[in-house]
Amino acid sequence: MAISRYLESRKNIAGSACGLAGLVLTFTGVAGPYWPVVVAGLYGAGALIAPPERPSLPGFPGSSAQLDALRGDFEKLGGYLEEVDLPPAAAGRLTELTDLLTALLDPGWVTEVLAQDPEGVHTLSRAVRQDLPEAVDSFVRTRWWTRMTPGSEPPERHLERQLALLQEEAEELAAALRETEARRQESHTRYLEDRGRVN
């Protein structure tokens, strides 16, 4: 295995090319009786000057594959959120947010545009896998403690604010994707106008 890998390596190819040059020198009479040394020396020189082998890059999943995995995680999150009892105001905000996230993750042209925006994929991933579960879970835990210490600030206020901030972030992402498509449309219009002028 190691031998076959070396035979296909850049060092062997470069060394062989230089060794062939040594054979040409031998047949033209330049190398003389020392031709084995010349051929071996040129092979060694070629192997030394060849660029080192570059290891293959690891195959990380692309944005499309990340979105597929994120879609699965969002479904799991949906199952968790259905089990949580939230106050009406927070439940309403959560519904608005999850509807928007569902639209952004829905397979189709939206996710095709989103797949071209790694920062957008990261923002969506962070909201689904970290921020939203943490907001709801911290509310559930804090609400339990609040029942033991009446008179403290209601935890639903923090939850409502957190959900509002997450929705703002998701709306900004949706607006950026819409802007990307608008620029694409404008660019196509300019292209057609320029083509019409040339003709």
Convert the pLDDT of each residue in 67-97 to its tens digit: 889 999 999 999 999 999 999 999 999 999 9
Question: Which residue ranges in the chain fall short of pLDDT 70?
Answer: 1-2, 6-7, 31, 60, 147-151, 199
What is the count of structural domains for the chain?
Answer: 2
Task: Kindly state whether residues 7 and 83 are assigned to the same domain.
Answer: no
Residues counted in the chain: 199
Whether 25 and 94 share a structural domain: no
- pLDDT at position 94: 95
Q: Examine the domain organization and report whether 157 and 187 are in the same domain.
A: yes
Is residue 41 domain-shared with residue 92, that is, in the same domain?
Answer: no
Nearest CA among 8, 118, 119, 145 for reference residue 63: 118
| Residue 54 is assigned to a structural domain of this protein | no
Domain assignment of residue 29, yes or no: yes
Position 23 scores a pLDDT of 80
Tell which residue, 135, 124, 115, has the closest CA to residue 169.
124
pLDDT of residue 146: 73
Q: Same domain, yes or no, for 80 and 164? A: yes
Q: Note whether 93 and 14 are same-domain residues.
A: no
Q: Is 132 exposed, middle or buried (0-12, 13-18, 19+ CB in 10 A)?
A: buried
Residue span of the structural domain in which 111 resides: 63-198
Q: Note the pTM of the prediction, 2 decimals.
A: 0.66
Burial class (CB in 10 A: 0-12, 13-18, 19+), 39: buried
Let me know if residue 171 belongs to a domain: yes
| 109 & 17 share domain | no
SS3 of 114-161: the string is HHCCHHHHHHHHHHHHHHHHHHHHHHHHHHHHHHHCCCCCCHHHHHHH
